[in-house]
């Protein structure tokens, strides 16, 4: 049956079948799921912010899109994944609160998604599916055996990408 491995906020974890990865409470945060389709080694990161703006290494690389992707790829490589052929699926990046004005500073969900997409492209990781934006929270479960990302929302129901 396998274990359901919980990924907390600002964490990155690995799994291989029959285990699955799960994170809850994705609002403006983004869940990044990476998979080596050959070895079936997978990673899930629950990032909170788009970029780590420090010259020194991030204390918690799982918190930021740019450092989380690098940390996940490194951990997958050390576990035997072929990181030259990774694929990705992402979910989250909602706008959970309404703000007046046009400032992008409050559009953290959009900024997170943009950073994730830019960093996946920079690292030559193909993005195969996404469920992003809106104003609903998400819980996601990633299955390394199939590559399916199951997404549950309170108001919009369940879907698989």
Q: Do residues 49 and 67 make contact, with C-beta atoms less than 8 angstroms apart?
A: no
d(CA 21, CA 19) in angstroms, rounded, equals 7
Question: How crowded is residue 6: how many other Cβ atoms within 10 Å of its Cβ?
Answer: 13
For residue 144, the Cα-to-chain-centroid distance in whole angstroms is 14
Q: Which of 29, 33, 45, 52 is catalytic?
A: 29
Burial class (CB in 10 A: 0-12, 13-18, 19+), 110: middle
d(CA 66, CA 118) in angstroms, rounded, equals 9
| Backbone phi and psi for residue 68, each to the nearest 5 degrees, phi listed first | -65, -45
- Is 29 assigned a catalytic role? yes
What residues act catalytically? 29
């Amino acid at each position: 049956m396998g274990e359901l491995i919980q990924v907390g906020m600002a964490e990155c974890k690995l799994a291989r079948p029959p285990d699955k990865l799960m994170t809850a409470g994705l609002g403006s945060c983004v869940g990044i799921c990476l998979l080596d389709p050959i070895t079936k080694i997978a990673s899930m990161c629950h990032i909170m912010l788009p970029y780590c703006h420090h010259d020194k290494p991030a204390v918690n690389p799982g918190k930021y899109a740019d450092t989380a992707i690098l940390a996940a790829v490194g951990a997958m490589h050390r576990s035997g994944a072929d990181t030259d052929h990774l694929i990705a699926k992402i979910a989250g990046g909602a706008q959970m609160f309404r703000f007046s004005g046009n400032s992008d500073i409050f559009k953290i969900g959009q900024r997170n998604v943009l950073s994730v997409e830019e960093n996946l492209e920079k690292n030559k990781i193909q993005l195969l599916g996404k469920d992003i934006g809106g104003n609903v929270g998400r819980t996601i479960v990633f299955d390394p055996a199939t590559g399916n990302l199951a997404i549950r929302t309170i108001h919009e129901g369940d879907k698989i990408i």
